[in-house]
């Protein structure tokens, strides 16, 4: 499971790091981190996909969100017993002290009323 998370997170961290640095042109002397390279990469992807380059980043963000939901669903499924036990400890079931007691006066037997 550890390697599964590492292999999922590394590309996302690298992609978002590159996107953030190149979007704001923080190149540190590296061409791939310049805004010119940023625009060139999205122009190439836009031409290959037949989409305007400005529509690609929201599509990638949506894909990352969906992939993240799938990854977290897999983790939750694998740890469902631990999650259920934690939930049971956190929110214990309420059990009445008198099982036959009427919770409200209107539910009590009023046959002795005058």
Q: Strand locations in the chain, DSSP E?
A: none
Q: CA of 108: how far to CAs of 95, 97, 105, in Å?
A: 20, 17, 5
* Total structural domains within the chain: 1
Residue 102 lies in a domain: no
- pTM value is 0.69
**Does 14 reside within a domain?**
yes
Phi first, then psi: what are they for 80, rounded to 5°?
Answer: -65, -35
Summarised one tens digit per residue, pLDDT across range 5-46 is 999 999 999 999 999 999 888 889 889 889 999 999 999 999
CA 93, CA 96: separation in Å to the nearest integer? 10
Dist CA 71 CA 78 (whole Å): 11
Torsion of CA 50, 54, 56, 61, to 10 degrees: -170
Q: Is residue 103 part of a domain?
A: no
The predicted-structure confidence for 39-93, as pLDDT tens digits, reads as follows 999 999 999 999 999 999 999 999 999 999 999 999 999 999 999 999 999 988 8
Provide the domain limits for residue 13: 1-90
6 assigned to some structural domain: yes
Whole-angstrom Cα distance, residue 83 to residue 79? 6
Residue 67 lies in a domain: yes
């Amino acid at each position: 499971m550890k390697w599964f998370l590492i292999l999922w997170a590394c590309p996302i961290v690298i992609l978002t790091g590159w996107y953030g640095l190149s979007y704001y042109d923080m190149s540190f002397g590296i061409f791939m981190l310049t805004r010119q390279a940023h625009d060139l990469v999205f122009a190439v992807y836009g031409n290959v996909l037949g989409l305007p380059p400005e529509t690609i980043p929201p599509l990638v963000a949506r894909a990352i969100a969906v992939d993240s939901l799938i990854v977290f669903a897999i983790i939750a499924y694998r740890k469902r017993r631990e999650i259920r036990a934690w939930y049971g400890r956190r929110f214990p079931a309420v059990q009445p002290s008198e099982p036959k007691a009427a919770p409200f006066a209107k539910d009590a037997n009023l046959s002795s009323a005058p």
